[in-house]
Each structure stands twice: as structure tokens, then as C-alpha cells.
Amino acid sequence: MSPQESALILIVYLACFAAIHSLMASLPFKRRAAKILGSRMDPWYPAIFSLTALVTILPLVYLVYLFPGKVLYVVPSPWRWAMVAGQLLAGLLSIRAFVDAPHRFRVPLQLTGPRASEAETLAPRGIYCWMRDPFLLSGFLIIWLTPFMTTNILILYVMVTIYLYLGSLHWERRLLAQFGDEYRSYQSRVPRMVPWRGRICPGR
């Protein structure tokens, strides 16, 4: 298989993955699932969403393994281990972001809107007092601190970077629909990804 063909396969598969992932993350899809499954979906949807993402991304990893493309660089020691350490720290950041983020994953509250009787206040905590989307930062660090690079991995990483950023914009639109002006105030005070303003917890 030529380098152009392998790159095209990666691009097409990643586009399909992004379409499925975006569809499941959308509010219309969740509303449809809620009508079909009722309250049974509430505690399970985030886990099903994450499992689906994992299962659908594994073939993409295998494709990159089969068709890595031309080697562009390999970072020598000790710098490669510093980069790996950065990836591990980014992974810990993702775990902390998940623990501190009940406002991002409660599907029933996402569907109610800010003026519903069952709506909750935003009340950011932990890492969300420093940045609005730590998952975006950790994702960028994990992929771009890879201590080696090939042509197909570079194509993949560029596309994933674009998708992660667009996904962050999608999350914010959903949080705006969920919290309204409360989230707009939060946006104006807390950076999206780089915590250059220090620790800020609006409303605390």
C-alpha cells in the first residue's frame, strides 16, 4: 500500500469516528435515547459513550501501527523520558478533570436547560477553577509529547487536534444551554485551556 493510500484510510476512518462520537455527544441524540430508554439511560450513558469511543478508536490505533509512514524524528534520551513524564502528568490531569466535573456529565440536567425546576447551579471546583476545559489541554499534551513522529502519525495528530478543539467548542455550547448566563460569566473569568489567570472560582 502506498503512503498516500494509507494516509487516506486514516483520514476516512478518523472522519467516521468523529461523526459517531459527535452524534452520540449531541443533545438531539441524547433526547432521542432518553425517549426510548427513559430513566434507565441516566447513570449508564457516560459509560456507554466512553466505551463506544474506546472500541471505535482501537482500529484506528491498529491502522497507525500497520501503516506508520516515514519516520520524521525520534527524540533521544533523556528528553524522551521527560516527554513521557509529561504525558503521564497529562493523564493524571484527565483523571482529576473527570473527578471534578459532575456538571459536564449529568445527561438529564443537560436536557433540562437553565430555567427548569430541576436545574442545578454551575459551582465549578478543583481544576475547573483554573481552566474551563482541562480535557483539551491534557489531550494536546498526550499527543504532541509523543517522543517520535511519522508522516501518518503527524496527519492523525493534526486532525485530532482540530477535532479536540471543535469538540471543546461543542461542549461549551452544551454547557451554555445547560447553565445559561451563569456559564457565560464563568467563560469571561476562567481561561479555556491555559491557566494564566491563576485560580478563580466564580460564585465561591
Contact (CB, 8 A) for 139 and 112? no
Beta bridge partners of 74: 148
**Whether pLDDT at 89 is above 70:** yes
In the predicted structure, residue 142 carries a pLDDT above the cut 90 = yes
Helix (H, G, I), strand (E, B) or coil at 73: strand
pLDDT of 192 reads 92
Q: Using CA of residue 130, residue 132, residue 136, residue 140, what is the dihedral sign?
A: negative
DSSP 66-93: H---SEEEEPPTTHHHHHHHHHHHHHHH
pLDDT for residue 66 is more than 80: yes
Give the separation between CA 113 and CA 175, rounded to whole angstroms. 9
- Under a CB-based contact definition with an 8 Å cutoff, are residues 104 and 175 in contact? yes
Where does 22-153 show beta strands of DSSP type E?
A: 71-74, 148-150
Identity (one letter) of the amino acid at 173?
A: R
Hey, CA dihedral for 22, 26, 31, 34, is it positive or negative?
Answer: positive
Mean residue pLDDT across the chain: 82
pLDDT confidence of residue 197: 79
Which residue in 144, 133, 117, 127 sits closest to 183, CA to CA?
133
pLDDT confidence bin for 144, thresholds 50/70/90: very high
Q: pLDDT class for 157, splitting at 50, 70, 90?
A: very high
Would residue 126 be called left, alpha or beta, if left means φ above 0 and alpha means ψ between -120 and 50 degrees? Answer: left
pLDDT band at 198 (very low <50, low <70, confident <90, very high): confident
